[in-house]
Amino acid sequence: MNNIVKNITTSHKSTIAAPKRSLGSWIMYALLFGWAGIQIFPIYWLMTFSLKSNSEIFGGNPLGLPKVWMWVNYSKALVTGKVGLYFINSIIVTGATIFITAIAALMATYALTRMNFKLRKPLTTFYVLGLTVPIHSALLPVFVMLRNLRMTNSYQALILPYVAFAIPMAFMIFSGFMASLPRELEEAACLDGCSIYGVFFRIIAPLMKPAVATVSIFTFLQAWNELMFAVVFISDTKYKTLTVGIQSLAGQYTIDWGAIGAGLVVATIPTLLVYIFMSKKVQDSLVAGAVKG
């Protein structure tokens, strides 16, 4: 399978008229590598200064590798700066968001693409509508609801809005994928006496795994990086997620760049790991999200 894909891409490559291998192509490579440098340099710089002491960052060695590796920056950020706590909160909020989004959207997609009922069309529009609504519109009303329910400063305060704004995209991605599944499997299972719930949970849900992966990546990036809701709904340190937590950390350690840098690295590592191990899948998820939306 991989070979086929490779063959297709290589044969494709050779057919496009490429710029000639000459001075022009040297300039082109220089520009491409230069641009690659611009895109990763700030991240390299972050990684290095997170391990330096202030005197290295501000004085003799702003750009090179650390001379003395200051791992103490990390313990400072994680423990004193509470980044460890924020990290766990982010894991809880993001994990729950992905889980609920995937299940709720998968169930809705099944009803809206497979089942027959009168309100199917208008409801489909309703589910897609969420794609065009900016989260700004929900900020104050959801805050007022949470305040009335005494639910600000809780995990649900973030999980529910994140799920709501992730569902429309998840529905779009799922419904495209579900349309490609043959109905015969379900019909056979039905004849064997499997209930509709059995059909959904035992046959459809497992077949949807690749689409669930796409949706999970998409939802992960959204929830992990979200700031506006997190800043407004959470003020108690106990429930702060990384995005808000990093803001407090930066306020707390204004001049200790090493500790702030360590906090920023900790906040970035999960995303980078996901990306390093699944770069193609991550890219495909975001392309799918954009093109479907």
Partner 1 sequence: MERVWKDKKAILFFLFPSFIILTFIIIVPIIMSSYYSLLKWDGFGQGTFVGMNNYIKLFKDEAFIKSVKNTLVFALTSVFIQLPISLLLALVISTGVKFERFFVTVFFIPVIISTVVIGQLWMKIYHPEIGILNMFLRSSGLDNLTREWLGSKDTALMASVVPVLWQYIGYHMLLMYAGIKSISADIYEAAKIDGASWLKTSAYITIPMLKPILKVSLTFAVVGALKVFDLVFVLTRGGPGRASEVTSTLMVETIFKSNSYGYGSAMAVFIIIECVVLYMLIGKLIKTDEVT
Which of 163, 173, 208, 259 touches partner 1 by CB under 8 A?
Answer: 163
246 binds partner 1 (CB under 8 A): yes
- In order of 84, 96, 106, 204, 281, the CA distances from 5 in angstroms are 42, 35, 29, 27, 15
Given the rule CB under 8 A, which of 64-72, 80-88, 108-116, 150-158 is the region that contacts partner 1? 108-116
242 binds partner 1 (CB under 8 A): yes
Which of 12, 125, 192, 277 touches partner 1 by CB under 8 A?
Answer: 12
Shortest distance (Å) from residue 193 CB to partner 1? 11
Which of 93, 177, 243, 253 touches partner 1 by CB under 8 A?
Answer: 243
Which of 92, 123, 203, 205 touches partner 1 by CB under 8 A?
Answer: 123
22 binds partner 1 (CB under 8 A): no
Q: How far apart are CA 89 and CA 288, in angstroms?
A: 28
23 binds partner 1 (CB under 8 A): no
174 binds partner 1 (CB under 8 A): no
Given the rule CB under 8 A, which of 77-85, 91-99, 208-216, 245-253 is the region that contacts partner 1? 245-253
117 binds partner 1 (CB under 8 A): yes
Which of 77, 98, 259, 264 touches partner 1 by CB under 8 A?
Answer: 264
110 binds partner 1 (CB under 8 A): yes
Q: State CA 63 to chain mean position distance.
A: 30
257 binds partner 1 (CB under 8 A): yes
19 binds partner 1 (CB under 8 A): yes
Q: What is the dihedral of CA 70, 71, 73, 74, to 10 degrees?
A: 160
- Cβ-contact 212, 106 below 8 angstroms: yes
229 CB burial (10 A radius; 0-12, 13-18, 19+): buried
15 binds partner 1 (CB under 8 A): yes
Q: Which two tokens stand for residue 1?
A: 């399978």
Which of 66, 81, 161, 258 touches partner 1 by CB under 8 A?
Answer: 161
Q: State CA 118 to chain mean position distance.
A: 35
Shortest distance (Å) from residue 155 CB to partner 1? 15
62 binds partner 1 (CB under 8 A): yes
260 binds partner 1 (CB under 8 A): yes
Sign of dihedral through CA atoms 49, 53, 56, 57?
positive
Binding string, residues 83-102; x marks residues near partner 1 by CB under 8 A: -----------------x--
Helix (H/G/I), strand (E/B), else coil: 117: coil
Q: Which two tokens stand for residue 282?
A: 């991550």
Helices (H), the chain: 2-15, 23-49, 54-55, 72-75, 83-114, 120-129, 136-148, 155-179, 184-191, 196-198, 205-207, 209-225, 228-233, 242-252, 257-277, 279-292
Given the rule CB under 8 A, which of 64-72, 78-86, 150-158, 190-198 is the region that contacts partner 1? 190-198
